[in-house]
């Protein structure tokens, strides 16, 4: 299974809009099952004092882990730029997912990263921070990252522009066939 993860809980985010395009494109490029998870849709109750206690984790966290994280062999993570890095909610989500069944969540799996930013660098710094975290957890991160800069100009009527569509297709072709 391939997981497309939109790494912000901001409602109606540009990251989600790009992630939904990635989802549809990936579905057309593989026979593998492709699932979508946006942190916007994750219950706020995962912020819980027992989120780091393994067997005592709230049922909502266990259900997300069982449906999306554990069965995923590949993950495409889209990360907006927040204060020169990736969103804190994405870090918290990864932390929560990495407690129960630690080695099964990320270790040995592969991931591709897409950055989304209103500025000119496309969250390259945040993607490097995220790469370091995922490497620590044992994930193989695809070396080609896609920084999407000036997102306000890339989305036209909430649709990804043609050149960005081509860049996404190119990344997916390389990643899904590696």
CA distance 36 to 6: 8
Full domain range(s) for residue 22: 2-176
Q: How far apart are CA 118 and CA 95, in angstroms?
A: 27
For residue 156 the two structure tokens come to: 């036209």
Type and span of the H or E element at 112 = strand 110-116
**Number of domains within the chain:** 1
d(CA 126, CA 116): 10
d(CA 166, CA 162): 6
CB atoms inside a 10 Å sphere around CB 129: 16
* Separation between Cα atoms, residue 119 and residue 121, nearest integer Å: 6
Read off the CATH number of the domain in which 125 is found.
3.40.50.360
Q: Is the pTM of this model over 0.85?
A: yes
pLDDT in tens, the chain (178 residues): 999 999 999 999 999 999 999 999 999 999 999 999 999 998 876 666 666 666 777 788 889 999 999 999 999 999 999 999 999 999 999 998 888 888 999 999 999 999 999 998 999 999 999 999 999 999 999 999 999 999 999 999 999 999 999 999 999 999 999 8
CB-CB contact of 86 with 123 (8 Å): yes
Q: 99-123 in b/e burial notation, b at 16+ Cβ within 10 A?
A: bbeeeebbeebbbbbbbbbeeeebb
């Amino acid at each position: 299974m391939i997981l497309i993860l939109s790494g912000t809980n901001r409602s109606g985010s540009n990251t989600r809009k790009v992630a939904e395009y990635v989802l549809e494109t990936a579905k057309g490029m593989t026979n593998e099952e492709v699932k979508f998870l946006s942190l916007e849709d994750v219950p706020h109750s995962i912020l819980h004092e027992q989120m780091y206690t393994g067997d005592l984790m709230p049922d909502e966290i266990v259900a997300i882990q069982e449906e999306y994280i554990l069965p995923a062999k590949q993950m495409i993570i889209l990360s907006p730029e927040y204060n020169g890095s990736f969103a804190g909610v994405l870090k918290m989500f990864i932390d929560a997912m990495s407690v129960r069944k630690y080695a099964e969540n990320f270790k040995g799996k592969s991931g591709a990263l897409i950055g989304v930013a209103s500025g000119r660098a496309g969250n390259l710094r945040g993607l490097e921070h995220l790469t370091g975290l995922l490497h620590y957890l044992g994930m193989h991160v695809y070396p080609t990252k896609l920084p999407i800069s000036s997102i306000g100009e890339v989305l036209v009527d909430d649709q990804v522009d043609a050149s960005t569509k081509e860049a996404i297709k190119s990344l997916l072709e390389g990643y899904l066939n590696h």
